Amino acid sequence: MTALTHVPEFSLSSVAGGSLALADLHASGPALLVFVSEECPTSTLTLRRLSPTIPDLARAGVRVAAVFEDPLETAARVARRTGFTGDVLSEPAPYDVSRAYSLQSLPTAVLIDRDGREVDRVVGWDAAGLRTLLSVPVTEEPPLRKPGCAAKNTYDAESLRALGGAGGFDELEEMFERGWTDGLPVIPPTGERVEAMLGGRDGSRLVGEMAPAMARVTLERVAACSVLAGCRPEYFPVVVAAVEAVLEPAFNVGGQAVTTQPCGQVLVVNGPVRDTIGLNGSVGVLGPGWRPNMTIGRAVRLVISLTGGGFPGRLDRSTLGNPGKISMCLAEDEEVSPFEPLHVDRGFPLPSSVVTVIGADAPLSISDHRSTGPLELARVLGEAAAATWSPNWWPLGGVSLFVICPEHARSFAEWGWSKERVREEIFSSVSRSARELRWGETTPLVNAAPDDQPIRKWDSPDEIMIVVAGGEAGRYSAVFGPCLGMNTEPISKEVQWTT
Amino acid sequence: MDYVSPFDERSRVTEPLAPRPADLSGARVALLDITKRRGDEFLDRIEELLVSRGAVTFRVVKEIFSKPAGPEIVRQIADRGDLAVEGLAD
């Protein structure tokens, strides 16, 4: 039997804080050191595959530590990403510990007994070798063997210098690691950026409490979300007004945030603020391309999903989701519209700047290039909306938002129709008998009605909301159907520049 | 690097679960109907089973399923009941 030799002592920084010495690791039983590095795929594969064995090893009294040839932040990030739950240590350049352990390649797993002596080691990913070394089940998924990468202590000085710039702390990756994102890159909310976003406002001001986390939504947290979303500070008053609207109990953001429905939040902005910050109400209005539209909608969604706790897959259980859960913010093109703008409909003076939030399904595009009169066009719009939510669920019991394109709006105006008339005619153009609707899942009203009773898609024209927006050319309007069962009402708030 | 968190970082206190009853005889059981479709049918059946085990049941109905139960609902359940069953989702 070969006598075991003592391995070199060390003390390295731990991501848990402070430092850990080899003696700590084998103080109460054997220790497994796994030398790894971020840029070595075999290292990350090994960490991912060893992670499930850690509880078995712990029961057997073996403590597992990953020793990264990387800075602490990188080690922490890779450990989180690979689900590695053992101790995580960072070994700085010039990698003297690795050298003392005579490493040639990463990963290298070294088993040390409780007296600090090396029992054996496995180099590279070697499922059978690790099973023998550790006496615990190790995955039998291929690849069963994979060679590793050169250990950094073997690099020459020039390569090490070249590496110096790589693999360090990455702010953008850090945001993903923290989960401060909707899945897209974000701007890190440094104190400086959040201060700039607040623009002298009191960050501790409580805007409200948001379900489902019942989180205190302070102005500072709204500012942090606005920075993350990529807003410029001049957009912030619009975000704040929208968040205030979302927090109104009648909006029921908590229900919208957690439901299995595809419920997003649409923001419609009216008034002079549109020009002040460059919000788009024209070509491509429901799509990408304009920073204020994209980032204001996104900021509100981040307040809901991060601060408020309605994060997809966690407390947000939406079966399909909807692009409105990423960002949906549009300006009404009041200048090309022949109608009164939305905020005036809702009782605000024309010169005020107002945000209206609507809990809504995804938009449905409605093409019409051939209608020869207003009744026909109103019917096209209404019949398209008849399929929203479900084709036989009448009445909807919620507000539908129609985005009427400039060409359609102009036609209505040329035919002499007001916005009120358009709303009434969309309402009355769509009707079915109870008999036609009585199939599949339908409403109690339809089930109780006599066969020939006409049923409408909406309870009243008041449930039809109209804004005019979109490119000058093209006869494509759209409708956002409602979220049902949420008892949600559209809410409008005036944009305050100084709060 | 210090960042401003978007989260409410207050630590949350997890309340321990109330002790489970050894048996149901004489227990006052609140049946919370959240108004989801057919939730009442589910609760009817639960009620039959509870009553057959000697429990005394009473119904509490939420205004709408998509909003949290208000404090008065919670108070009713706490004041009148020893146990509660909630018919959740459809």
Q: Per the domain annotation, does B16 fall within a domain? A: no
What pLDDT does residue A193 have? 98
CA-closest candidate to residue A357, choices A344, A343, A337: A343
Q: Per the domain annotation, does B40 fall within a domain? A: yes
CB under 8 Å to A356, separation ≥6 — which residues? A245, A267, A268, A269, A270, A342, A343, A346, A490, A491, A492
Residue A265: is its pLDDT beyond 90?
yes
Overall domain count for chain B: 1
Region A129-133: mean pLDDT is: 94
Instruction: Give the SS3 label for residue A76.
Output: helix
Q: Which of A171, A228, A485 sits opposite B66 (nearest CB)?
A: A485
| Distance in angstroms (rounded) separating the CA atoms of residues A17 and A355 | 46
Domains of chain A: 11-163 (3.40.30.10), 173-494 (no CATH)
Secondary-structure percent of chain B, ordered helix, strand, coil, rounded to 5 = 25, 20, 55
Q: Minimal Cα–Cα distance from B89 to chain A, Å? A: 10
A2 pLDDT tier (thresholds 50, 70, 90) = low
Residues of B in contact with A229 (CB under 8 A): none
Q: Per the domain annotation, does B65 fall within a domain? A: yes
Top-confidence residue, B11 or A23: A23
Which residue ranges of chain B lie beneath pLDDT 50? none
What pLDDT does residue A163 have? 66
User: Which helix or strand (DSSP H or E) is residue A194 part of?
Assistant: helix A191-198
Region A246-260: mean pLDDT is: 96
Which residue reads 């352990």 in tokens? Answer: A101
A292 pLDDT tier (thresholds 50, 70, 90) = very high
User: Which helix or strand (DSSP H or E) is residue A109 part of?
Assistant: strand A108-112
Q: Per the domain annotation, does B39 fall within a domain? A: yes
What pLDDT does residue A177 have? 85
| Distance in angstroms (rounded) separating the CA atoms of residues A5 and A301 | 59
What pLDDT does residue A331 have? 98
> In this structure, are residues B6 and A303 in contact, taking their beta carbons and an 8 Å threshold?
yes
| Distance in angstroms (rounded) separating the CA atoms of residues A455 and A460 | 11
CA-closest candidate to residue A212, choices B57, B36, B8, B81: B8
A386 pLDDT tier (thresholds 50, 70, 90) = very high
Residue A161: is its pLDDT beyond 80?
no
Question: Which amino acid is it at B55?
Answer: A
What pLDDT does residue B56 have? 97
Region A108-127: mean pLDDT is: 96
- Tell me: the pLDDT tens digits for B2-23? 899 999 988 778 888 888 888 9
What pLDDT does residue A485 have? 86
- Tell me: the pLDDT tens digits for A464-497? 999 999 999 999 999 999 998 888 999 999 999 8
Q: Which of B4, B8, B66 sits opposite A191 (nearest CB)?
A: B4
| Distance in angstroms (rounded) separating the CA atoms of residues A304 and A394 | 30
Region A350-377: mean pLDDT is: 97
Region A376-394: mean pLDDT is: 96
Q: What is the 3-state secondary structure (H, E, C) of A127-143?
A: HHHHHHHHCCCCCCCCC
Q: Minimal Cα–Cα distance from A459 to chain B, Å? A: 19
What pLDDT does residue A93 have? 83
Residues of B in contact with A317 (CB under 8 A): none
CB contact under 8 A, A485 and B64: yes
The DSSP code for B68 is P
Region A184-210: mean pLDDT is: 97
CB contact under 8 A, A487 and B67: yes
What pLDDT does residue A266 have? 98
Which segments of A118-185 does DSSP mark as H helices, in order? 127-134, 157-163, 171-178
Average of per-residue pLDDT values in chain A: 94
Q: Among A41-55, A162-176, A390-404, whose mean pLDDT is lowest?
A: A162-176
Residues of B in contact with A189 (CB under 8 A): 3-6
CA-closest candidate to residue A34, choices A83, A93, A80, A101: A101
CB contact under 8 A, B6 and A303: yes
The DSSP code for A166 is S
What pLDDT does residue B52 have? 96
Instruction: Give the SS3 label for residue A424.
Output: helix
What pLDDT does residue B11 have? 75
The pair phi, psi for residue A496, each rounded to 5°, is -105, 130
Question: Is the bond preceding residue A143 a cis peptide, omega within 30 degrees?
Answer: yes
Question: Which amino acid is it at A49?
Answer: R
Instruction: Give the SS3 label for residue A242.
Output: helix
Q: Per the domain annotation, does B20 fall within a domain? A: no
Q: Per the domain annotation, does B50 fall within a domain? A: yes
Q: What is the ipTM of this complex?
A: 0.84
Q: Which two tokens stand for residue A59?
A: 């029961």
| Distance in angstroms (rounded) separating the CA atoms of residues B29 and B32 | 9
What pLDDT does residue A423 have? 98
What pLDDT does residue B90 have? 64
A208 pLDDT tier (thresholds 50, 70, 90) = very high
Residue A94: is its pLDDT beyond 90?
no
Please give the model's pTM, rounded to 2 decimal places.
Answer: 0.75
Top-confidence residue, A3 or A209: A209
**Domain carrying residue B45:** 28-87
| Distance in angstroms (rounded) separating the CA atoms of residues A198 and A447 | 53
- Tell me: the pLDDT tens digits for A328-350? 999 999 999 999 999 999 999 99
Q: Which two tokens stand for residue A34?
A: 């796994």
Q: Per the domain annotation, does B38 fall within a domain? A: yes
Q: Per the domain annotation, does B23 fall within a domain? A: no
CB contact under 8 A, A255 and B2: no
A499 pLDDT tier (thresholds 50, 70, 90) = low
Residues of A in contact with B7 (CB under 8 A): 215, 221, 306-307
What pLDDT does residue B1 have? 66
Q: Which two tokens stand for residue A202?
A: 């009191």
Residue A354: is its pLDDT beyond 80?
yes
Q: Which of B7, B66, B68 sits opposite A307 (nearest CB)?
A: B7
